[in-house]
Structures are given as structure tokens and as C-alpha cells.
Amino acid sequence: MRVIKIFDTTLRDGEQAPGCSMNLGEKIEVAKRLEKLGVDIMEAGFPASGTGDLESVKAISLAVKECTVAALCRCLEKDIDAGREALGKAASPRIHVFLATSPVHMEHKLRMTEGQVLQQAVDSVKYAKKFCNDVEFSAEDAFRSDPDFICRVFSEVIRAGALTVNFPDTVGYAMPDEFAQRVRYVKEHTPGIEKALLSVHCHNDLGLAVANSIAAVASGADQVECTVNGIGERAGNASLEEIVMSLQVRRDHFNAATRIDTTQIYSISRMVAQVTGVKLQPNKAIVGDNAFAHEAGIHQHGVLANRETYEIMTPQSIGIVQNQIILGKHSGRHAFEERLKDLGLTAESGAFEKIFADFKDLADKKKNVSDRDIEALVMDNTVSVPETWKLDHWTVNTGSALGASGVVRLQHKEGRFEKVACLGDGPLDSLFKAINKIIDRQPELELYELGAITGGSSSQGETMVKIALNGRRWNGRGVSTDVIESSIKAYLSAVNAMLYEIEQKDK
């Protein structure tokens, strides 16, 4: 049975999509979860794009030991130098260079001939090979490129030392049968292809990224590039969980498998949705809330009689634990620790004490604490940047004929307190204005979303916000049984991410 390598680019292609940015702490936590998931390669960033990406790739390289860490670089020596610097401490580094090969890209973007593109590709692979044995070359917009030119480029970069060659459908244009045929053509007409792995990277503009990736595997592709939840540019990338479970469930058809621990899929899907603020639609394949839900009577009857009537995989196979132990205010540390393990969640010893204390506080307010509540508590305590400002207390007065007045008191990391009162169009407007006055900045609130983690009037409210200042954007998330408090926490989370980044740049 063939083993298909999973190349995850959630931290690079996924994170660069509008609204999906993560701070350094969040990237490291996602990287650790990807390592636990068992991806073969994780693409940690694009070091030449800025100091932030270079430093995040460095930090991820130090944090991850069990899988290859890749850095994306254009076919330019300065990019490759940045990649080399970023990957200097990686246990298993990969430099991933790319250059466009389609006529439209070569003419209008690169303004280069085929001969010039070929030479630059070869020279860049040779240069990267001086610093890193594991070099991958990607032909950007390969599907819309001349097939014989692609074969020629791949043959030459393999001769120059590339161990992986990537055939992307950069704009999501291909149909599955076309893509499968093209992959077969490349496999059959590229001299030396047996010395390298053939990878594919599909975008989802027509909703076919997973179908094209799976078709490529059937035609001989050795590696698939994808993201958790399919996040990425425009309509996104091929979804990791859908590809992995397709190969798992239909192993008989593909005679191929991956090294992924599928029981970790659900937890990392939830984590990525939370840190990016990009929620999953309920009917999302594999990990959506409705993926294992049955409402129609005939379906319910069938599943109760035999789950295989309407379920081709079990919830447990992706890490959804069906556990009958109910957690509440009388639950002890051991039961709570076991539930964390069941959910695939981990917490450092110091963070665990805070999470457990928050759990007990929540259990006093709710009769039963759900798995979603626990996930939210862990995320609140483990994925963050250092807090410049911490919420001490707040008060708001509002009414239909009164407008709103809000008072916020914050504590600075140096210990001092600041208290400000503001008027606003509503309770949140007044409170956010007060926070802005304390921090002496005026970020724009671009997105505000409020939802309930579970059902019922005692449910925790989960707030997602995005703020912007001078062209940069930051996400924030807050959880509380009081929706106003969850909103303040979310806004303050985004503000702290903003202030931390500004502080780092000023150093």
C-alpha cells in the first residue's frame, strides 16, 4: 500500500487568507497540534514577506521536532537566504521554492521567456541545495502551463537536486478527470521523475480542490498539499480532513493511506476555527456540527439499528468522543483531566490550574459543562499573546431612552490601573470607546460576531472580533456566560495582539 505524504500549509497559505491571521502564540499552538496530528510536512510561513513571518518560522522550527518544517521562497537568492535563516534550528528543514510557468503568468507577471524561467528555476534549486538537502520546487499555475514545458522544468530541477516537484492548480480551474490525466502525463513524460516525489496543490475556486487532489492520488501523486478546514486564498485550499478521511474510508479503492492520526482531526479543526475566527458551516464534511447528526426519522431508525446504514465512518474515528460522564460542579480534577485527554486537549501545569478554576466557576453557573465549553476554556487560557492590558472590572448603564454609558477599569502589565467612562450608541460602543481611550489608539472594528457555544439560557457566549489599524488586522476571541463580558474580552484580546506586535516592531 502506498503512503501519501500530507503537506499542511495552514500556517502559510491558510493564514494569509483575508481574516485568517494568527499571532505567534496561536501559530505555535497550531503547529504543535499539527505535529500531534501526524502531518509529514508543515509549511510554517513565507520568511521573506516580513520580519513577523521570519520570526514565526524560527519559533515553529524550535517547537516542532517530529515532522518536517518548510519555508516558502520565491526563486530569488534573497528569499532563499531568509528561508535558510528561518529554518536554521529546524530538526528537519525544507526549502520550498516556486516560480510561475503558465503563459499568462510568464508574460504579464514575470515578463520572462520559457528559457529564462527554466534557468531561474534550476539556479534557485541549486542555490537552495547548498543549505538544505530537502528542496521542493513548485511550478505556480502548473495546470494552465504547457504540459511538455512542465515536464522539462521538472526534469531539470530534479537534476539540480529537488527531491519533490509540485504540480499546483493555483486558480482552481481544473476538472478532476483533466487533472488526473495531466498528473499521469507528468509522471510518464518527465525524465528522472522516479528520483523525486510528485506533489499536488489544489485551490477550491470551483469547489473541486479535494476532488482534484484525490484524482491526482489515484493517478500516482505522492504528496498532497492542503489546509485544516480548507482555509486559504479566495475560496480556499483542499481540505486536509476530507482528503485524509477519503483515503481512510476508501482505502480499498485507492490502495493508499496516510500517517495521520485521524482521532486528532476534530480537535485541530475546532482549534483552527477558533484562532482564525472562521467558523465552519454546519454541513461541512467530516467536521461540521451536522456531519454525524440524523434528523430524518428513517435515518434515525436505520442508525439505531446499525450505524453503517447511514454512517460510513464513526465519530470516534475523527476524535469525537461519546462519553457518558457528565461534568458539573461536583466533578474532580481527575475526571476533568481525563476529559481533556479524551478531547485531545493539553495544557501546561500552570495553565491547567487556571483552566480547572475557570471550569469550577463555570460549573457553578451551569448545571452541566459540555465538551464545547471545555474546548473554549482551554483556548482562552493557552492561545494568546502576552497581555499588555487585563480586564479588572466593567459597568454599563443602558436603556431605550438613555443611550449608554460604560466604565472600564484595566490593569497594565506593569501593575498600574486605568479607569475610564465613555458614552456611546450602545453598551458595547461605550465600553470599546473606553478601552480605546485607555490604550490611546483608535482601531477600527471590522467584524463582530456573537454566538452561543451550547444551547440554553445559561450557555457561554463566544465573541469573535477583528480590528484594523494602519492596514494591519488582528483577531480577538472572548468567552463568558455574560455576552457583554465576552465581547469586552474579545476586543481586549485583539487589542493586546495589536499592542504586542507594535511593541515587537519598536524593539
Q: What is the pLDDT of residues 336-351, one digit of tens each?
A: 887 777 777 777 767 7
* Distant-in-sequence, close-in-space partners of 328: CB < 8 Å, separation ≥ 6: 363, 366, 367, 368, 369
* Beta strands 403-412 and 417-424, pairing class: antiparallel
**pLDDT confidence band for 302 (50 / 70 / 90):** low
Closest CA to 476 of 487, 488, 465, 484: 465
Q: What is the pLDDT of residues 168-200, one digit of tens each?
A: 999 999 999 999 999 999 999 999 999 999 999
* Beta strands 93-100 and 135-140, pairing class: parallel
Burial class (CB in 10 A: 0-12, 13-18, 19+), 258: buried
Checking if the pLDDT of 205 tops 60, the result is yes
Closest CA to 73 of 116, 8, 128: 128
* H/E element, 97: strand 93-100
- Give the least confident one: 131-135, 147-151, 335-339: 335-339
* H/E element, 502: helix 483-506
Q: What's the rounded Cα separation, in Å, for the pair 458 and 362?
A: 10
Q: What's the rounded Cα separation, in Å, for the pair 223 and 166?
A: 9
SS3 461: strand
Closest CA to 53 of 76, 87, 97: 87
SS3 468: strand
* Distant-in-sequence, close-in-space partners of 315: CB < 8 Å, separation ≥ 6: 292, 322
Vertex 97 angle, CA 8 and 58, to 5°: 60
Give pLDDT, residue 324.
45
Closest CA to 351 of 340, 366, 363: 340
- Contact indicator for 183, 218 with CB cutoff of 8 Å: no
Q: What's the rounded Cα separation, in Å, for the pair 360 and 358?
A: 5
Q: What is the pLDDT of residues 371-396, one digit of tens each?
A: 777 877 777 776 567 889 999 999 99
SS3 474: strand
Checking if the pLDDT of 501 tops 60, the result is yes
Q: What's the rounded Cα separation, in Å, for the pair 464 and 454?
A: 16
* Distant-in-sequence, close-in-space partners of 331: CB < 8 Å, separation ≥ 6: 363, 369
- Contact indicator for 193, 154 with CB cutoff of 8 Å: yes
Q: Which DSSP category does 133 fall into?
A: S
- Contact indicator for 95, 69 with CB cutoff of 8 Å: no
Checking if the pLDDT of 303 tops 60, the result is no
> Per-residue pLDDT averaged across 310-339, rounded?
75
Q: What's the rounded Cα separation, in Å, for the pair 261 and 36?
A: 8
Through-space distance between the first and last CA atoms of the chain, rounded to whole angstroms: 52
Closest CA to 450 of 459, 461, 460: 461
- Contact indicator for 73, 128 with CB cutoff of 8 Å: yes
Write out the three cell numbers for 121.
528555476
Q: What's the rounded Cα separation, in Å, for the pair 51 and 28?
A: 16
359-393 burial, b for 16+ CB within 10 Å, e for fewer?
bbebbeebeebbbbbbbbbbbbbbbbbebbbebee
- Contact indicator for 220, 183 with CB cutoff of 8 Å: yes
> Per-residue pLDDT averaged across 191-214, rounded?
98
> Per-residue pLDDT averaged across 150-179, rounded?
98
Give pLDDT, residue 143.
98
Q: What is the pLDDT of residues 393-409, one digit of tens each?
A: 999 998 877 779 999 99
Q: What is the pTM of this model?
A: 0.81
Phi/psi at 189 (5° precision): -120, 10
Give pLDDT, residue 486.
92
